[in-house]
């Protein structure tokens, strides 16, 4: 295992999470608030770094960076711009197939990419905020949603939705 690379991924994960622990500004604003600019800066830097890492070494899976390092790589991919997320998605699929990444993490990135592409999500992991509050993004074949969620280690949707609503500011 590459401990130095793992440590860098964990440091970047911690920074990713630090900039998201903000009080999100509500309503309309003329300029992007400084807190959101900082988050965007961190996301752009992490995306560029992850892209360069993958070009040199491939997707950072469990064997290379440990379970927590692999999860950190997914988090950086999850917060990348939509074009980069699409590129990372195929790599993460291959890593999951090889046992190097979590199917659960893949479900989140799959849903995020589908949402950005205007498609219904498969696992019900993505929500959006609108005038009515927090709402789940459209789900494909909702009758079988909990079966798909269980297949990747996610809890039933009703449990997940309740947690999301409790976390809503």
pLDDT tens string 13-46: 999 999 998 766 566 667 777 888 999 999 999 9
Specify whether the CB–CB gap between 93 and 61 falls below 8 A.
no
- The pLDDT value given to residue 28: 63
Q: What is the pLDDT of residue 138?
A: 94
Q: What percent of the chain has pLDDT over 90?
A: 76
Measure the CA–CA gap between 5 and 90, rounded to whole angstroms. Answer: 22
Give residue 36's pLDDT.
85
Stretch among 8-12, 106-110, 149-153, 155-159 having the lowest mean pLDDT: 155-159
Looking at residue 130, what is its pLDDT?
75
* More confidently predicted of 128 and 40: 40
Give the Cα-Cα-Cα angle 108, 111, 115 (nearest 5 degrees). Answer: 140
Residue 169 pLDDT level (bands cut at 50, 70, 90): low
Burial profile 29-57: b = 16 or more Cβ within 10 angstroms, e = fewer = eeeeeeeeeebeebbeebbeebeebbeee
The mean pLDDT value for 163-169 works out to: 68
Torsion of CA 58, 82, 128, 120, to 10 degrees: -90
Q: Which two tokens stand for residue 19?
A: 């900039």
Cα–Cα distances (Å) from 163 to 63, 108, 139, in that order, read: 32, 16, 18
- Contact indicator for 102, 114 with CB cutoff of 8 Å: no
CB atoms within 10 A of CB 112: 22
Mean pLDDT for the stretch of residues 62-72: 98
Which pLDDT score, from 0 to 100, does residue 29 have?
66
Q: Is the pLDDT of residue 133 over 90?
A: no
pTM listed for this prediction: 0.89
User: By the 8 A CB rule, do 82 and 126 touch?
Assistant: no
pLDDT for the residue numbered 135: 85
Predicted confidence at residue 129, as pLDDT, reads 78
């Amino acid at each position: 295992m590459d401990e130095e690379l793992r440590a860098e991924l964990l440091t970047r994960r911690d920074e990713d999470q630090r900039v998201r622990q903000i009080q999100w500004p509500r309503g309309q604003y003329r300029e992007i608030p400084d807190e959101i600019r900082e988050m965007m800066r961190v996301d752009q830097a992490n995306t560029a770094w992850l892209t360069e890492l993958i070009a040199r070494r491939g997707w950072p899976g469990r064997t290379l960076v440990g379970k927590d390092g692999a999860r950190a790589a997914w988090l950086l991919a999850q917060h990348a711009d939509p074009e980069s997320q699409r590129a990372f998605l195929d790599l993460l699929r291959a890593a999951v197939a090889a046992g190097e990444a979590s199917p659960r993490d893949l479900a989140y990135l799959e849903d995020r990419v589908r949402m950005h592409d205007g498609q219904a999500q498969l696992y019900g992991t993505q929500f959006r905020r609108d005038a009515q509050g927090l709402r789940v993004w459209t789900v494909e074949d909702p009758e079988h949603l909990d079966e798909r969620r269980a297949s990747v280690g996610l809890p039933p949707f009703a449990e997940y939705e309740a947690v999301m609503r409790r976390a809503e500011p």
